[in-house]
Structure 1
Amino acid sequence: MIDSTDRKICDILQQNARTSSTDVAAMVGLSVSATNERIRRLSDSGTITGWHATLRPDRFDAALCAFVLIDMSYEGEAEAVAALSQRDEVQELHHISGPHSYLMKLRVADTAALQAFLSEAVKPLPAITRTETVITLGSPKETPAIAIPAGIGGADV
C-alpha cells in the first residue's frame, strides 16, 4: 500500500528525479536506507515507471506543438494505433470519447513538417477517415507531473 510518506517521495521525485536520496530522506523524515528501500519498492511495483529528463523542444527542432483529433474506422484501427505509437514525433496518443476516436499530441519543427507528417504518416493509414489539427500558439503550462492527493493509494501506516 502507498502511504503518505510514499506519496511525499513520489511528489519530490516527479518534481526532480535527480534529488539525492539523502535530500529525499531529510524531506520525508526517514533514514537514507529506508528511503532507498521505499524508492526501490515504488519502482519495482510499477508506481514509479521511469526516470526522465525534461527537454526544451525548440532546442531539438520540435518547437511546434499540435493536437490532432483523429477519426478512425474499426477496420485497421489496431494497426493505425500501432503505427502512430511508433513515431517519435507523437508524444501522446489517447483513445477518447465523443465524436472523434483519438487525440494525438505531436511535436515537429514547423508547419511544413506538420503537413509532411500528416500527409506521409497519418492520412495514408487505411483506418484514418478524418483528422482535425489544432496548433498551439504557446504553452503557459505543460508538465508530466500528476497531482498527488493526500488520501490516494491506501491507508497511512
Structure 2
Amino acid sequence: MVDNIDLKILALLKENSRMQWKDIGQLIHMTGQSVGNRIRRLEDMGIIEQYTIATNKAKLGMPITAFITIFLESSNHLAFRTFYEKEESITEVHRISGEGCFLLTAHFTSNEALDDLLAELLKHGNYRVNISIGKLKS
C-alpha cells in the first residue's frame, strides 16, 4: 500500500527525477537507504513506470502542437498502430471513449509538416484537429 511518505517521495521525484536519495531523505526525515528501498518498492509495484525529462518542443524547432482525434474507418487497428509507432511527430496516443477512436498529440516544425501527417492519416480514417494556442500547465 502507498502511504503519505511514498506520496511525498513521488512529489519530490516528479519535480526532479534526478534528486539523490539522501537529499530526499533529508527533506522527509529518513535515511537515503530507506528512501531507496521505498523507491524500489514503488518501481516493483509499477507505480513508478519510468524516469524521463520534459522538453520544450517549441525551442527544439517544433512550435506547432496538434491534438488529433482519429475516426478509424476500418477495423484494421494493426495498420494504424504500425503507422503511429513509426511516426516521430506523434508523441502520445490514447484510445478514447466518446467521439472518436484515438486521440493523438503531435508536434510539428511547420503547417506543411502537419498537413503531410494529416494526408497520411486519411489512409486510416477521418480526423479532427485542434491546435494548441499555448501550454498552461504540465
Is the pair's TM-score, using the shorter chain for normalization, greater than 0.5? yes
Q: How many pairs were matched up?
A: 138
Point out where structure 2 has 5 or more consecutive residues left out of the alignment.
none
| 1:131 and 2:127 are equivalent in the alignment | yes
SS of residue in 1 equivalent to 2:18: coil
Consecutive unaligned residues in structure 1, runs of 5 or more: 144-157
Alpha-carbon distance between aligned partners in 1 of 2:110 and 2:92, rounded to the nearest angstrom: 18
Structure 1: how far apart are the matches of 2:36 and 2:97? 40
1:43-91 deviation per Cα after TM superposition (whole angstroms, max 9, x unaligned): 2222111111111112322211001111013521233134213322112
CA distance in 1, matches of 2:136, 2:75: 38
> Which is bigger in relative contact order (C-alpha 8 A, separation at least 6)?
1
TM-score computed with the length of structure 2 as normaliser: 0.90
Secondary structure of the 1:132 match is strand
Cα-to-partner distance string for 1:103-125 (whole Å, 9 max, x where unaligned): 111111121110011113x2223
> Identity of aligned pairs, percent?
24
Alignment-mate amino acid for residue 123 of structure 2: P
Letter in 2 for 1:63: P
Instruction: Report the equivalent of 2:112.
Output: 112
CA distance in 2, matches of 1:16, 1:107: 24
TM-score, length-normalised on structure 1?
0.80
